[in-house]
A and B are shown apart, each in its own frame.
Chain A
Amino acid sequence: MASEKTKAFLLKMIGIDRRIIFIFVFIALSVPMFISIDMNIPTSPEVEMLVETMEKLPDGAKVLVSLDYDPSSEPELQPMAETFLIYAMRRNFKIIVIGLWPQGAIQAERAKAVAEEHEGKEFVYGENYINLGFQSGNELVIQRMGSSIPAAFPRDYFGRPVDEFPIMQGVKNFSNIDYVFNLSAGYPGTIEWVLFAVDKFGATLGAGNTAVQAPMIYPYLGKQLKGLAGGMKGGAELEILTSLEGRAVKYMVGQTFAHAVIVLFIIIANIAYFATRDSKKGGVL
Chain B
Amino acid sequence: MSVFGIWVGAVLTLGILSFLYKDNPFYKMSEAIFLGISAGYWFVSLFWQNLVPKLFDNLGITKLLGLNEEDGAIQAIFVHGEYDERIWYFIAGILGIMMLLRLVPKIGWISRWPLAFVVGTTAGVYLTRYLASNAVAQINNSLKDFIVIGQPDFISWTNFNYLLIIIGVTTGLTYFYFSKEHKGITGGAAKIGIYFLMITFGASFGYTVMSRMSLLIGRLDFLYSDWLRLIP
Residues in A lying within 8 Å of B, measured CB to CB: 19, 22, 25, 29-30, 33-34, 72-76, 102, 133-134, 136, 139-140, 143, 155, 194-196, 198-200, 210-212, 214-215, 219, 222-224, 230-233, 251, 254-255, 258-259, 262
Contacts and interface: CB of A to CB of B under 8 A. Distances in A.
Interface stretch (B72-80, B127-135, B173-181, B187-195): B127-135
A136 B46 CA distance: 8
B64 to A, nearest CB: 20
Interface string B162-205: 00000000000000000000000000000000000000100110
A72 to B, nearest CB: 7
Given A136-B49, A143-B125, A195-B129, A219 B217 contact: no
B231 interface: yes
Nearest to B138: A219
Interface in B197-217: 200, 203-204, 207-211, 213-217
A33 B231 contact: yes
A255 B211 CA distance: 10
B141 interface: yes
Interface residues of B, number: 39
A258 B206 CA distance: 12
Given A211-B211, A224-B141, A255-B210, 12 more contacts: A29-B213, A102-B46, A133-B49, A195-B129, A195-B133, A198-B133, A210-B214, A212-B211, A215-B200, A223-B137, A232-B210, A258-B213
Contacts of B209: 259, 262
B50 A232 contact: no
A215 B216 contact: no
A139 B125 CA distance: 9
Contact of B20 (A22, A214, A224, A231): A22
A76 B214 contact: yes
B231 A233 contact: no
A19 B21 contact: yes
Interface of B: 20-21, 42, 45-46, 49-50, 53-54, 125, 129-130, 132-134, 137-138, 140-141, 200, 203-204, 207-211, 213-221, 224, 230-231
Interface centre among B21, B50, B219 (most CB of A within 10 A): B50
A136 B210 contact: no
A199 B141 contact: no
A232 B231 contact: no
A250 B209 CA distance: 18
B133 A224 contact: yes
Given A34-B231, A215-B207, A262-B209, A231 B214 contact: yes
A212 B206 CA distance: 9
A73 B218 CA distance: 9
Given A143-B125, A219-B138, A230-B207, A29 B217 contact: yes
A224 B53 CA distance: 34
8 contacts: A25-B213, A30-B224, A195-B130, A195-B134, A199-B129, A211-B210, A224-B141, A251-B221
Contact of A222 (B54, B141, B211, B217): B141
A33 B215 contact: no
Determine which residue in B210, B216, B220 has the highest number of CB atoms from chain A within 10 A of its CB, and name it: B210
Contacts of B213: 25, 29, 232, 254-255, 258-259
A231 B211 contact: yes
A140 B125 contact: yes
A19 B129 contact: no
B45 A255 contact: no
A254 B221 CA distance: 11
Nearest to A194: B133
A222 B140 CA distance: 12
Contact of A199 (B45, B137, B208): B137
A75 B49 contact: no
A255 B133 contact: no
